[in-house]
Amino acid sequence: MIRKAKLLFEEPDWFFELLHKDLAKLQRYAERWDVYAFCRLNVASDLDWMQLMEMYPYINFYDYTKVRSRIDMYAAGDVPENYSITASWNERMAMADMKRWLKRGVNGAVVWDTPYNGAHPHLTRELPTSWDRLPKVECFNADLHDIRHPAYDGEGRLGFLHYKGLKSHLPEAVKRGFVLHDARY
């Protein structure tokens, strides 16, 4: 990830040449086999790739984003048809915004303080199935897969995620409000 980020900012022409080659190959594969292809360009970033997405109509792009203007554009249908967005809860987000987006069909995501134990999944605590702050919203486990697309998740639903950072950073993440505390534990 660091190598790719450095390439993007230090050698952008080379970065985009490689990215276009990869996306063209993925699109050819999807066309040839008549399958859906998915791509998440923002894994550790929140950059605007919409112009690029329009060039690859056979690829379904998806993002978690905290960028309010991008979420509003998605809610209004002002993004490429092959782009889906999940509004990612964060400490600066107003609950009124999340409610408005959910009502307009945008999915949301919330990170809970239930740590994920990848080495021993059976030791991982269950995620909640509802949130008292949004009692009428249908919720789902967003850790079952990473593809955030309405065909899989529905629309206007809230996905819960386990906290996957360092355990020593969890108290600060909860204090800041990025990770929400589940009072049941």
**For residues 144 and 103, which has the higher predicted lDDT (pLDDT)?**
103
Average pLDDT of span 83-105: 94
Q: What is the mean pLDDT of residues 6-19?
A: 94
Report CA-CA distances (Å) from 62 to 42, 47, 90, 162, 185.
8, 12, 18, 20, 32
The tens digit of pLDDT for each residue in 29-80 reads: 999 999 989 999 998 889 999 999 999 999 999 999 999 999 999 999 999 9
| Confidence tier at 182 by pLDDT (50, 70, 90) | low
% of residues, the chain, pLDDT over 70: 97
Helix (H) or strand (E) holding 170: helix 170-176
Question: Which two structure tokens, joined as six digits, stand for 30?
Answer: 């999807």
Mean pLDDT of the chain: 91
Cα angle 168, 171, 173; round to 5: 100
pLDDT of 100 > 70? The answer is yes
Rounded to the nearest 5 degrees, what angle is found at the Cα of 153, between the Cα atoms of 142 and 130?
A: 55
Q: DSSP labels for 85-97? A: EEEEP-TT--HHH
On the question of pLDDT at 183 being above 70, the answer is: no
Please, are residues 148 and 142 in contact by the beta-carbon 8 Å criterion?
yes
Quick check: 153 and 108 in contact, CB under 8 A?
A: no
Residue 185 has pLDDT above 50, yes or no: no
